[in-house]
Amino acid sequence: MPRPALYSSSRNARRPAPETVEPVAAPATESAAYATPPDAPAKQVGANISRRHLRTLWVVVALLTALLIASLWQHQRPAARKITQEDIDAAVLRTLESTTLPSAAARAVDAIAPSVVRVVGYSRGKNGKEEVERGVGTGVVIVDKGIILTNLHVVLGSDRIAITFHDGLETTASITGAQPENDLAVLQAHKVPDDLAAAPMRSTQDLRAGDQVVAVGFPFGIGPSASAGVVSGLKREFTSPEGKRQLSNLIQFDAAANPGNSGGPLVTMDGEVVGIVTAILNPTPARTFIGIGFAVPIENAASAVGMPPF
């Protein structure tokens, strides 16, 4: 007998309850290939943590190694040696051996130079118009307002007195005082430099024969010039060849001095004025230096301008 045709239906047909089937165990190889063991995630996390710990450990080891090397290097460096007095003395000696220091005379000249001036006296010529240079000498500033000491014989009889300061400033001056017995004249400059410095002065009470001195001035108008020597004696007397001047209580010195040095300072090695150069002794008509010069003690010179004694 023929079978009836079967057609599918869009409505859910009731399906018969499936028959109970006993599971069949999969082969061992298939289970190993597809099944994931329950403890796999825990093992993977542990492996990641171990790798991180290993990297950290290596970093710590590297840092400790670097610190160890630095410590060893620091300990191997020689410790800084304490500077001793012998080291200081050796350094000073090396400096002195390798450096040329200025002489005592050079330091004295540097100290007094800003206070030394050139003094020129002029008089009228025979025609009454032209000026004639009648005397060239030196002066030294003893008060920074422009008060200058020089020799009286340099400016006596001059119609005009010209002063040239250390910085080149040229001006005129007037005689404000005189002490003929010491051949001294006091000048007042009509203009002064802004930074004019007065010369430091020193008493002659402790001056001794043999002490080093420097004479600074304009010998024969050349200068400022310096010559060094020593004090040859004290309390000397001098009479000019013409017999017109007789001076006493003078400092004798052997630093070269010539016409033009008159009125200039006689200076110690400390740059302090102890006298005013006033004369040279030469029994010939040459009027040149032969080894004996004289200076008025600064005490006498200071009294010429009313300054208190030392």
d(CA 88, CA 84): 7
Check residue 204 and report its DSSP letter. Answer: S
Check residue 168 and report its DSSP letter. Answer: S
pLDDT value at position 75?
65
Joined tokens for residue 69: 């090397």
Is there a domain that residue 44 lies in?
Answer: no
**273 near 201, Cβ under 8 Å?**
yes
pLDDT value at position 41?
53
pLDDT means per 10 residues, the chain with 310 residues, are 46 47 45 46 56 74 79 66 85 81 92 96 83 92 94 93 96 94 94 94 93 97 95 93 80 96 96 95 88 93 68
pLDDT value at position 234?
96
Is there a domain that residue 273 lies in?
Answer: yes
pLDDT value at position 30?
43
Is there a domain that residue 183 lies in?
Answer: yes
Is there a domain that residue 77 lies in?
Answer: no
Is there a domain that residue 237 lies in?
Answer: yes
pLDDT value at position 6?
44
pLDDT value at position 54?
74
Give the residue numbers annotated as catalytic, written as ranges. Answer: 153, 183, 262
Closest CA to 219 of 141, 154, 310, 307: 154
- Range(s) of the domain holding residue 179: 110-304
CATH of the domain at 251: 2.40.10.120
pLDDT value at position 227?
97
pLDDT value at position 172?
97
Is there a domain that residue 127 lies in?
Answer: yes
**118 near 168, Cβ under 8 Å?**
no
Report the number of secondary-structure helices (H) and strands (E) in the chain.
Answer: 6, 12
d(CA 211, CA 239): 25
Domain total of the chain: 1
Is there a domain that residue 100 lies in?
Answer: no
Is there a domain that residue 33 lies in?
Answer: no
pLDDT value at position 158?
93
Environment class of 164 (CB within 10 Å of its CB; exposed 0-12, middle 13-18, buried 19+): middle
